[in-house]
Chain A
Amino acid sequence: MLEARGLTKYYGSVLAVQSIDFSLEPGQVLGYLGPNGSGKSTTVKMLIGLLEPSSGQVLFHGKNIQSDLVAYRKHLGYVPEEANLYPYLTGYEYLELVGTLRGMPQQRMKAKIDSFLELFSLFPHRHVALSSYSKGMRQRILLISALMDNPDVLILDEPLSGLDVTSALIFKNLIQSLSAKGKTIFYCSHVLEVVEKVCSRLLILRKGQVIASGTTEEVRQRIGQTSLENIFLYLVEDRDVAQIANDIVDVVVSP
């Protein structure tokens, strides 16, 4: 079980997130939503142990992850928001690097890499440098690197970024299958339609604070809106989006 208790982070005197609480059981998928700058990435970095909270803690099976980060990360798969990869490595070499760093046995690692590359349609490009991969291909490499060691916890930060329609569809089904297999999934995204489809629970963030949480149905009933898009707009957006769009058009057509 992955648990956040009173997670708070200050950058100097600037508050990034405040008192984030949630617990995530195996098989659950938590959708983590919020506008830009709301503190999503900060939370993700604390959850994977790249950033230490100013106060509060992240617990995995009841134990503070900071007490043994290496052991915790053995159970962790992570897809970062941006596909920052070493461009001169080939796709295969990058996965080999990650697998070796994770301490996977060579034979198992190679078999897994080959299978994943085949399934993600990257096998023909496995010996091509990552610099010439498209954004979607790089994203698939990141997904493989997160999944290759059979992690118990998956932290996904905008995992669909750049994926084509087929890959995105496969991925949505993959999330559901992984959760059915008992994986704990923390899913951070802007794509509300996907979050609505794959997440069993929601947590909406605004200016570093949780403003709504619960199952999708609970949140829907509480806010009194039918779609997640409307819920999101109701909670986080002060401005009238239709009016903003009209104003933009006015500027576009103005002489």
Chain B
Amino acid sequence: MILQIALLAGLVIFSALAVLARDLLKAAISLAVASLLLGILFFIMNAPYVGAFEISVVAGLITVLFMTTIALTKTEGNVRESKAARVAFPLFFIVFLIIDILVMKGLVGKIPAAASTPDQGTFGEALWKMRTFDLVGQIAVIFAGVFAVLALFRKRSKDE
């Protein structure tokens, strides 16, 4: 339990660092570390497949994409953020945490929980037999992403 709380606290701290860091590269690396902690947490919560996905795809691939974008836009892309936003963040965050502590217990109690039957079988069976249509959706989403990127980087023909 203590390990889980430590991992969750680390996740929140690194996410806050990713949001508040001035340097974009440091922000991207903080985000990767947060993903790594979340992946370890998933392993602890008996969800190894999602943990592997989180570490390889979110901590790996998305960080690489972020770094490529930062490198491509670095020269003149610096934007001045408002200082008040950084200064006010801890205050707002602490206020939110207090509200969170007070309210969350009541909220969680009010969520209508369907009568859940404990899982049977393996992850593969759950994914392939029960969520087959999700896989079709995933393939569609991947194709949509690929075509969107292709369309955005399309070179103009000489006539235009």
Say whether A associates with B.
no
